[in-house]
Structure 1
């Protein structure tokens, strides 16, 4: 897991539902790094798009991954 992916998961924890722009601002990432992290996390099932268009939320699997792998980035 990359530092950008950890930043995105941390921003979405515990149960935030945010747009890509809100995630980018809260995590202090570039637009490219935010979008790339979102795509990678979604492909692994760690985040999912919400019913509100253009918003993302963390999955239980994403919370587990952050708890295990996120420790090395803190």
Structure 2
């Protein structure tokens, strides 16, 4: 897992979906790095898109990965 992906997982919450711009700002990433990280994490099932469209939240699997990688 890349540092950008870890940063994205760290700012997402299960009950507070964020837009990609909010994720980018909170994780202090460039737009391209944030988009890439969101895409990779979503493809692995660690985050999911939610309503309203364009918002993301962490999945239980993503929380487990974050805890494991943070140790």
Q: TM-score, normalised by structure 1?
A: 0.90
| Counterpart residue number, 2:39 | 39
List alignment gaps of at least 5 residues for structure 1.
Answer: none
Instruction: Indicate the RMSD between aligned Cα atoms, in angstroms.
Output: 1.1
After TM superposition, which residue ranges in structure 1, 4 or more long, deviate above 6 angstroms?
A: none
Q: How many residues align?
A: 71
SS of 1:49 mapped into structure 2: strand
Q: Is the 8 A contact 2:14 2:59 kept in 1?
A: no
List alignment gaps of at least 5 residues for structure 2.
Answer: none
Instruction: For residues 25-60 of structure 1, give each alpha carbon's deviation from its aligned partner in whole angstroms, at most 9, with x where no partner exists.
Output: 001000010000000000000000002111000000
| Counterpart residue number, 2:49 | 49
Q: TM-score, normalised by structure 2?
A: 0.93
